[in-house]
């Protein structure tokens, strides 16, 4: 049996990092080998360029930063695929859907945004954390980085809806992330436990 590829997507401050860590603990205690990934992965050379841009310490053309986010995923794609084949479940904090939603929200054509991510390992389950920009704003740290502006976040929310609607039932689920940490964690576990350890066969490819 191969590992299950689970992606947590969502808006800023929706609690993705918090829930990824809880999910890791729950999976480990159920005996599932698990590894976490997070995009952008700011530790690589490409990730450091992205980090500098997000902190407004450097300027880049919208298309150039989009392609750097994508390259940051491609540089880890082989590791993701190998781990899945070896039976390790992967929980990933943001993925290509963020790439498309944020760049398209800035005004780039959606199909142009999607194209460089086509062929990446496809998630078996994507959990979208939905939260109103108003609730997100009340949480710690909002507004420190470049994209943390309410108008942009509203457009991003709509675009995530467009991307999610393309998925077959059960592969993309939406969780109300505006509730307590415990309620969100229960809901995430309910969805994850339906798929984890039940997926086999080759890893699918995204958007092809
Ligand atoms: N981006 C892009 O443009 N293209 C791409 O391809 C990718 C990303 C991959 C940085 O992402 C930016 O990059 C992001 C999208 C863009 N821009 N925005 N906006 P990031 O993932 O590195 O950073 P982030 O979105 O700002 O995520 P975050 O700061 O890690 O937020 P989070 O993981 O969703 O939330 P959290 O850290 O778990 O929680 C935030 C706070 O809320 C914290 O104080 C928690 O204690 C608190 N919290 C968490 N859950 C709750 C609940 N349930 N109730 C109350 N308080 C809570």
8 Å CB contact between 58 and 24: no
Q: How far is CA 69 from CA 5, 54, 118, 125, 150, in A?
A: 19, 11, 13, 21, 22
What are all long-range contacts of 23-27, with beta carbons under 8 Å and residues at least 24 apart? 23/91, 23/185, 23/188, 23/189, 23/192, 24/91, 26/185, 26/189, 26/192, 27/89, 27/91, 27/192, 27/196
Task: For ligand 1, pick from 10, 14, 18, 53 the residue to mutate: most ligand atoms within 8 Å of CB.
Answer: 18
ipTM of the complex: 0.97
Atom of ligand 1 nearest to the CA of 42: 22
Q: What is the pLDDT along the chain (208 residues), one digit of tens a residue?
A: 999 999 999 999 999 999 999 999 999 999 999 999 999 999 999 999 999 999 999 999 999 999 999 999 999 999 999 999 999 999 999 999 999 999 999 999 999 999 999 999 999 999 999 999 889 888 877 777 888 888 999 999 999 999 999 998 889 999 999 999 999 999 999 999 999 999 999 999 999 9
Query: Nearest Cα to 35, choosing from 17, 21, 48?
Result: 21
């Amino acid at each position: 049996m191969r590992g299950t590829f689970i992606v947590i997507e969502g808006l800023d401050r929706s609690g993705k990092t918090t829930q990824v860590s809880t999910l890791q603990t729950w999976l480990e205690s159920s005996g599932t080998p698990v590894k976490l990934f997070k995009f952008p992965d700011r530790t690589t050379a490409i990730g450091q360029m992205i980090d500098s841009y997000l902190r407004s310490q450097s300027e880049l053309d919208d298309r150039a930063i989009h392609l750097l986010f994508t390259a940051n995923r491609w540089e880890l794609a082989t590791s993701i695929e190998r781990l899945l084949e070896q039976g390790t479940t992967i929980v990933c904090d943001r993925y290509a859907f963020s790439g498309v939603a944020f760049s398209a929200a800035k005004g780039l054509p959606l199909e142009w945004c999607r194209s460089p991510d086509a062929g990446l390992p496809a998630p078996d389950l994507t959990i979208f954390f939905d939260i109103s920009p108003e609730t997100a704003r009340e949480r710690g740290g909002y507004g420190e980085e470049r994209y943390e502006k309410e108008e942009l976040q509203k457009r991003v929310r709509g675009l995530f809806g467009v991307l999610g609607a393309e998925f077959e039932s059960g592969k993309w689920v939406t969780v109300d992330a505006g509730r307590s940490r415990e309620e969100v964690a229960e809901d995430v576990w309910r969805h994850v436990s339906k798929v984890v350890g039940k997926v086999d066969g080759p890893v699918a490819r995204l958007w092809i």
